Amino acid sequence: MMYLFGSAFFGNMDFGYLQVFIFIYKHRSPLHVFNYVNELTFHADVFKTFKGEDGTFNHDITKDPKGLLCFYNAAYVLTHGEPLLEEAISFTKYHLESLAPSLVSPLAEQVKRALHVPLPRTYRRLEALQYMPEYEKEVGYNPTLLELAKLEFNLLQSVHLKELKAISEWYNDLSAYVELSFARDRVVECYLWGYSVFYEEEYSLERMIFAKCTFVHTLLDDINDVRATLVEYRKLDTAIQRWNESAISLVPDYLKKFYNKLLMCFREFEDELTLNGRYPIDHIKKTFQQQSKFYLQEAEWLHQNHKPSFKDKLHLAAMSTGVTALCVYTMVCMGDGAPKGALEWALGYPDVIMACAKIGRLMNDLAGSSKHRNNRGDVANCVDCYVSEHKVTDKVAFAAIDSMIEDEWKTTNQARFEHRRELFPVVQRVVNFTLSLPVYYGDRKDAFTFSTHLNGIIKNLFVKPIPI
């Protein structure tokens, strides 16, 4: 039940690898696995404990569905070069799928969710919402702890609802001023993304700036993707690179208000950061300017009818997701609240940040290839480039890209183990970002563009309190 509060159950207790997994197996609580991942280091060889002399997994495990589920979830913390864990996933997944029809609540629901998205890849706040009513059915549940968890959730929900009201007013003012009717209205979805990275009450400033910057990125993306000609976007980008009021003369007339509002927004961010003793905004400006360059490069490719190699496309497309920029914004907004060296680390685009960007891009492109947006001729996405380069069908390309996504999840797990000390708090913020991606792009759906898919999640997180 400690899972509901988002903290690790065992803190820094020093368990041996074998003892940890034996405890997981005996304790039989699927929700504990992710917290061990956060606090304990283990080796894949511990899974050999569950094999017989013939080298296959002991089938006695399959007689305990709850233990099997723990085993399955634990295996999903695998990193690169761990075939034993891949074997464990195949073994446990097969048997869980076979057992699923015969399971009863709450285990039936837990197995269904884990088979859809394994526990180490779920966003904990959403998983907690689903687990609370199930916890009441667990043997030996603590009613006081459950009541405290519900109270904590409802109290924070009231904070988040006030922020949603404030950011909606901010959006209404911005939207009425810039007059870009073709742009997507996604301010709530942007706030949900900020919430995914920072849900805690004390991170209100970080959450709000993250959400506003995400929305500004969306506006810029829609200008480039939906309305602006290449010549018009070049002019806008030139003004963004100059970053001063005098450059507004370069901007097409229908974008002048947008450019003016852009400068106003960043002055607002700077005032808020300065007031709260955070880092100067220079790095946010520079990173935003780079983001505009990425959009311009995509527009150039489209204009030239250029189909890049898959490698080149993935690199540019990962950068244009805005993930790398938003991770830099995160470090700037955290200021001295981030570990020493965090900003420099993020500016170097480490593997865990690039893994987040690649997972987001590839999942988005898979969703886009399943249901194309009706935009004005997007540049070829990663699926298109893979199909063209390798001369394969969409089905083969989908399978290959799914495998690449799995590799990036392994990189994400690796970062959790490599950064155990100083940088771990900011690594976890990046991981939180990554964990939000299945919410937006799972099941081959683009829930950011087609946001009705998020309606239930938004209502449950921000509108409907938990009955106590």
In CATH terms, 2-141 corresponds, of 1.50.10.130, 1.10.630.10, 3.40.50.150, 3.40.1410.10, to 1.50.10.130
**348 exposure class (CB count in 10 Å sphere: 0-12, 13-18, 19+):** exposed
The span from the CA of 47 to the CA of 91, in Å, is: 12
Contact 182, 227 (CB under 8 A): yes
For 312-359, what is each residue's pLDDT tens digit? 999 999 999 999 999 999 999 998 889 999 999 999 999 999 999 999
pLDDT value at residue 29? 42
pLDDT value at residue 60? 87
Contact 58, 51 (CB under 8 A): yes
**pLDDT range class, residue 279, cuts 50, 70, 90:** confident
Q: Which residue has the tokens 């921000």?
A: 462
Cβ-based neighbours of 337, under 8 Å, separated by 6 or more: none
Q: Provide the 3-class DSSP secondary structure of residue 246.
A: helix
* Backbone torsions φ then ψ of 251, nearest 5 degrees: -85, 140
Q: What is the DSSP track for 339-374?
A: PTTHHHHHHT--HHHHHHHHHHHHHHHHHHHHS---
Listed by start position, the domains of the chain span 2-141, 156-462
**pLDDT range class, residue 421, cuts 50, 70, 90:** confident
In the predicted model, is pLDDT for residue 10 greater than 80?
no
Token couple for 76: 């999903």
In the predicted model, is pLDDT for residue 31 greater than 60?
no
Q: Between the ranges 48-52, 428-432, 450-454, where is the mean pLDDT highest? A: 428-432
State CA 124 to chain mean position distance. Answer: 12
Cβ-based neighbours of 398, under 8 Å, separated by 6 or more: 366, 369, 383
Element containing residue 457 per DSSP (H, E): helix 455-462
In the predicted model, is pLDDT for residue 468 greater than 90?
no
The span from the CA of 234 to the CA of 135, in Å, is: 56
For 145-195, what is each residue's pLDDT tens digit? 999 999 999 999 999 999 999 999 999 999 999 999 999 999 999 999 999
The span from the CA of 307 to the CA of 388, in Å, is: 9
Give counts: helices (H), strands (E), the chain. Answer: 20, 0
Q: What mean pLDDT value characterizes the chain?
A: 88
The span from the CA of 382 to the CA of 366, in Å, is: 8
Q: Which residue has the tokens 């629901």?
A: 109
Contact 379, 365 (CB under 8 A): no
Contact 190, 214 (CB under 8 A): yes
Contact 458, 192 (CB under 8 A): yes
In the predicted model, is pLDDT for residue 37 greater than 70?
no
* Backbone torsions φ then ψ of 422, nearest 5 degrees: -55, -50
pLDDT value at residue 110? 95
The span from the CA of 334 to the CA of 423, in Å, is: 13
In the predicted model, is pLDDT for residue 128 greater than 70?
yes
The span from the CA of 454 to the CA of 188, in Å, is: 10
In CATH terms, 156-462 corresponds, of 1.10.10.60, 1.10.10.10, 1.10.3720.10, 1.10.600.10, to 1.10.600.10
pLDDT value at residue 46? 75
Query: For the chain, how many residues are written?
Result: 468
Contact 233, 223 (CB under 8 A): yes
Q: Span 222-244, mean pLDDT? A: 96
pLDDT value at residue 43? 59
Token couple for 209: 């700036």
- Cis before 106 (ω within 30): yes
Q: Which residue has the higher pLDDT, 333 or 14?
A: 333
Q: How many CB atoms lie within 10 A of CB 333?
A: 27
